[in-house]
Copies of this chain bind each other. A is one copy, B any other.
Amino acid sequence: MRANGRNEDRIRPITITTQVNKYAEGSVLIEMGDTKVICTATVEEKVPPFLKGQGKGWVTAEYSMLPRATGTRNQREAARGKLTGRTMEIQRLIGRALRSVVNLQALGERSITLDCDVIQADGGTRTASITGAFVALVYAVDRIAVQHKLPVFPITDYLAAVSVGIVGGTPLLDLCYEEDSKAAVDMNVVMTGSGEFVELQGTGEERPFSRSELNRLLELGESGVLELIEAQRRALGALELKIGSNRPSREA
């Protein structure tokens, strides 16, 4: 039995509080169970050097945990003088995933930085960061769209992420820390509102996994993402209607 009597195919209680920061162009506090992440979106009217002059925008992300977000205190990366491999891997993932649902051409030559700061960690911080950052991103994009009268709303679809894994032989949805630390197989699933994969990262931590196990994990992930997108819709309120109204037809 899981903690709080949760079923194998259930996500934890989710709360998305919007506009929690008085300065940021978009901001969100996302809580999935005891995992809490502040996501802020910052708009800047410039792009990285490699994009200059192309008329396209950029979306990037940074991720960090407060030192005591976890059971034992972690040394600050600023004090160590460098980012850990884990942090780099996670922030690259978040940025890549978010860009997949942004029409960078429609955004214009400006960039948005999503800061995901984990206030408290109980498993699934990277997937909660993606799910929360998406909402903060939409708020920031809307502000740009209104202010600059963009002809096309640059968000092409919903985007959310959840973790799945095999613990004690049972495939589970949305692992908390205790489950995650015992998982034989661990997978992060990032999907769009139209039910397609944006990113899939599965690891056989303790043992390899078969094709049929993979299929069961993907099913769990899919149902979890659908529920998360419902929560995003509620958090977005009126903005909800703008998303994907201009979804590009599929190419290459």
Contact = CB atoms under 8 A, between A and B. Distances in A.
Given A78-B64, A196-B210, A252 B184 contact: yes
Given A21-B68, A120-B23, A197 B214 contact: yes
A94 to B, nearest CB: 12
B23 A71 contact: yes
A117 B206 contact: no
Nearest to A121: B23
A194 B208 contact: yes
A182 B251 CA distance: 12
Contacts of A23: 68-71, 120
Interface in A33-92: 34, 38, 40, 42, 44, 62, 64, 66-71, 73, 76-89, 91-92
A42 B21 contact: no
Contacts of A149: none
B207 A250 contact: yes
Nearest to A122: B22
A14 B199 CA distance: 29
Contacts of A203: 96, 198-200
A191 interface: yes
Given A120-B21, A167-B252, A202 B199 contact: yes
Contacts of A85: 83, 85, 88-89, 91-92
A252 B169 contact: yes
Interface string A108-142: 00000101010110100000000000000000000
B214 A200 contact: yes
A237 to B, nearest CB: 22
A197 B208 contact: yes
Contacts of A21: 68-69, 119-120
13 contacts: A24-B68, A40-B68, A64-B76, A67-B115, A78-B83, A79-B83, A81-B82, A85-B88, A96-B203, A184-B252, A187-B200, A196-B209, A198-B203
Interface of A: 21-24, 27, 34, 38, 40, 42, 44, 62, 64, 66-71, 73, 76-89, 91-92, 96, 100, 113, 115, 117, 119-120, 122, 157, 166-169, 182, 184, 187, 191-192, 194-211, 214, 218, 250-252
